[in-house]
Amino acid sequence: MSQLLLDVNGLTMRFGGLVAVNGVNLKVKNRQIVSVIGPNGAGKTTVFNCLSGFYIPTEGSVMLKNKQIAGLKDYQISRKGLVRTFQHVRLFQKMTVIENMLVAQHRHLNTNLISGLFKTPNYRRLEQEAMDHAVHWLKEVDLLEFANREAGNLSYGQQRRLEIARCMVTQPELLMLDEPAAGLNPNETKQLDELIIKLRDEHEISILLIEHDMSLVMGISDHIYVIAQGTPLANGTADEIKNNPDVIKAYLGEE
Amino acid sequence: MTTNKFYNAIFAAGITLILACLMIGVKLDTSGTQLAVKGATTAQWTWIGGGIAIVFLSQLFTNQIDALFRMIPKPSISTMLPEEKKMATLKPWLIAGAIVIMVIWPFMVSRGSVDLATLTLIYIMLGLGLNIVVGLAGLLDLGFVAFYAVGAYTYALLSQYFGLSFWVCLPISAGMAALFGFVLGFPVLRLRGDYLAIVTLGFGEIIRILLNNWTEVTGGPSGISGIAKPTLFGLEFTRKAKGGEDAMTFHEYFNLDYSSSYKVIFLYLIAILLVCFVIYVINRLMRMPIGRAWEALREDEIACRSLGLNRTAIKLSAFTLGASTAGFAGAFFSARQGFISPESFIFIESAIILAIVVLGGMGSQYGIILAAIVMTILPELAREFSEYRMLLFGLLMVLMMRWRPDGLIPTKRPHLELKQQ
Ligand SMILES: Nc1ncnc2c1ncn2[C@@H]1O[C@H](COP(=O)(O)OP(=O)(O)OP(=O)(O)O)[C@@H](O)[C@H]1O
Ligand SMILES: [Mg+2]
């Protein structure tokens, strides 16, 4: 059996009187694609914010590789190998594509001021490694030819891919994608589908996915969690979810 | 729309009237032992009336005035310069040429001009330092002068109490200012924009008040005088050597007649050296990981956090490095001046340095150099108007913001390029 990578139990997030997330449980194993679905405002993004440390959960435990991470600072969590993208793309718009990739590798570089001023061999070597690593990932997402463009000038689909590549250079073990297919055309969605599967199969990472595009979710997920109004509604494989009467009701009731 | 404009104009004119009446219209005067309220003269009232009319009309016709500003051409540096590839080969020569000219120039002009140039160089250093904090890292610091003061007093005190030389104290001053920056920055850098501005403003005042009141050490309002001037490998620039038996003066050593302009030129050359050093370091910093992180943090703080960047540490590095540059400039300032007092480090200084950064174009080094030159030389040229200095200063800022909101030379950050492989 593959190992448990992320284990979330009883995650609850309250904003004043509003309970945005209420007792959510999630399990992600190594090399798995797990999806979280639910109607608008269900609290999916809030779950991500809790896991990635942007919010400190009101209750519940978040275990990454059997270590508690709830309560750690956002940057500490991302250094432990849990990295996310955003529902609305967040790139460094005025920096070039390659610079975006290098900023993401900041902590792997030699940031000592003296070494930088004198360009010591160690500084050069790490800078070159980061560059190579960035080039590798730009190739993977098909953006190498745009390396010297300003990120803000890329098309929307390219920006989405760059955001994923930028996460990947940080060498995560769990990648969390918040609606990566939103705003993509069918062709780009298909590319994304392939990219996510490749990340799991070739790069051996796990992916936690929030998505509204049901055909994408049903096609690639190993396991699916459904939440509605912050509360867990169901979980299971794609087929189990498709035929779950509660889920159908929640979605039909909304539409 | 137009009625709206009209009311707006009336309102602005009204405010002007009230302010003018309070500030110019009535004056408290002593007549004998009593205070008496005196009205303004007719001439002053005419001026006030004219001012109100100008405010009224300029508010009424903002659109037309804006259109006028748009018609003024904006020379763009990038179109005036030869293309990039040629520039790359030309650049080292241009820089070398500029340095040679700057070194030769003082020998041909008057002492006063050299002295003014030295002052300008100090402001360039301060502008470049604040630029790290405001322009590159996007942190609004209104108390930058505090670090300048720390640097200046560090040298003055070390030289007075321990007799340490300028060259030893220079790094100590920078380090001391950096330490202050670090200690202040640590708790306050969590604050957002406006709050940070207010805290730094307060800090600037605290330092000044401290210097004013800690009389036993800093001499209080009367300051510290007789601060030793820098030496050239131990050679002094005074008429007679002061420092002990085997101390020598510059003119004795080189068998020259004594002239006080040697000292002025020597100080100027040191300033050039320091400015070159600061420019070099900042240029390197912008291309280093830390420089990229500053820029990234300014662009999108949330994305930075999600990628494992510790924002407090990154902001703190900008704050500390900026402060150390100010400390550097401060040490040189007290050495040049020979006398410092808390009066040299008032809020207006912070405002001027900030104006240099904004005027130059946030983040742009050439822009800041140009703005520092403008800001120090203009007041000298317009000596007769010195009473109206702040007024002109405000007018300049308003006009600049209308004409070129991005500053004299807008930023063109050095982008890192991937060589095609
Ligand atoms: N910082 C906050 N303060 C107060 N309420 C919040 C906050 N963040 C989220 N919420 C509330 O929590 C609820 C869940 O929001 P969330 O963004 O997690 O939904 P979502 O499932 O991601 O929806 P969508 O599919 O539209 O992205 C919403 O009612 C939202 O208003
Ligand atoms: Mg959402």
ipTM of the prediction? 0.90
Cβ–Cβ gap A78/B305 under 8 Å:
yes
Residue B262 has pLDDT above 90, yes or no: no
Domain boundaries in chain B? 2-71, 95-403
The distance from CA B19 to its chain's CA centroid, rounded to whole angstroms, is 29
Residue type, A187: N
Residues in chain B with CB shorter than 8 Å from the CB of A107 are 308-309
* Tens-place pLDDT, residues B101-131: 888 888 878 888 888 889 999 999 999 999 9
Contact B137, B294 (CB under 8 A): yes
Q: Which class for B395: exposed (0-12), middle (13-18), buried (19 or more C-beta within 10 A)? A: exposed
Domain boundaries in chain A? 1-81+173-255, 90-171
Tell me, using a 6 A CB cutoff, whether residue A20 lines ligand 1.
yes
Residue in the structure block whose two tokens are 């999916």: A44
User: For residue A138, what is the nearest residue in chain B, using CA coordinates?
Assistant: B418
Tell me, using a 6 A CB cutoff, whether residue A44 lines ligand 1.
yes
Most confident of A40-54, B30-44, B89-103: A40-54
Of the partner residues B289, B300, B310, the one whose CB lies closest to the CB of residue A92: B300
- Name the CATH superfamily, with its identifier, for domain A90-171: P-loop containing nucleotide triphosphate hydrolases (3.40.50.300)
List phi, psi (to 5°) of A4: -80, 125
Here the tokens at position A238 are 């794609």
pTM recorded for the entire structure: 0.83
Give the model's confidence band at A255: pLDDT under 50 very low, under 70 low, under 90 confident, else very high: very low
- Determine the topology of domain A1-81+173-255 in CATH: Rossmann fold (3.40.50)
Identify the CA nearest to B362 among candidates B144, B195, B70, B133: B133
* Tens-place pLDDT, residues B290-301: 999 999 998 899
Whole-number Å distance between alpha carbons of B283 and B276: 10
Which residue has the CA at smallest separation from atom 30 of ligand 1? A41
> Residue A105: CB partners within 8 Å, gap ≥ 6?
A130, A133, A134, A169, A170
Q: Nearest-CA distance from A161 to chain B in Å?
A: 15
Residue A175 has pLDDT above 60, yes or no: yes
Identify the CA nearest to A31 among candidates A69, A8, A4: A4
Which residue has the CA at smallest separation from atom 2 of ligand 1? A15
Task: Say yes or no: do domains A1-81+173-255 and A90-171 share a fold.
Answer: yes
Q: How far is the CA of A227 from the centre of ligand 2 (A)?
A: 12
Q: How far is the CA of B244 from the centre of ligand 2 (A)?
A: 76
Which residue has the CA at smallest separation from atom 14 of ligand 1? A43
Q: What percent of chain B has pLDDT over 70?
A: 88
Please report, in angstroms and rounded to a whole number, the separation of the first and last CA atoms in chain B.
58
Residues in chain A with CB shorter than 8 Å from the CB of B305 are 54, 74-75, 78
Residue in the structure block whose two tokens are 């994608």: A177
Q: Nearest-CA distance from B295 to chain A in Å?
A: 8
Alpha helices by DSSP H, chain A: 44-51, 74-79, 97-104, 113-118, 121-140, 156-168, 186-201, 214-220, 238-242, 245-254
Identify the CA nearest to A208 among candidates A22, A9, A28: A28
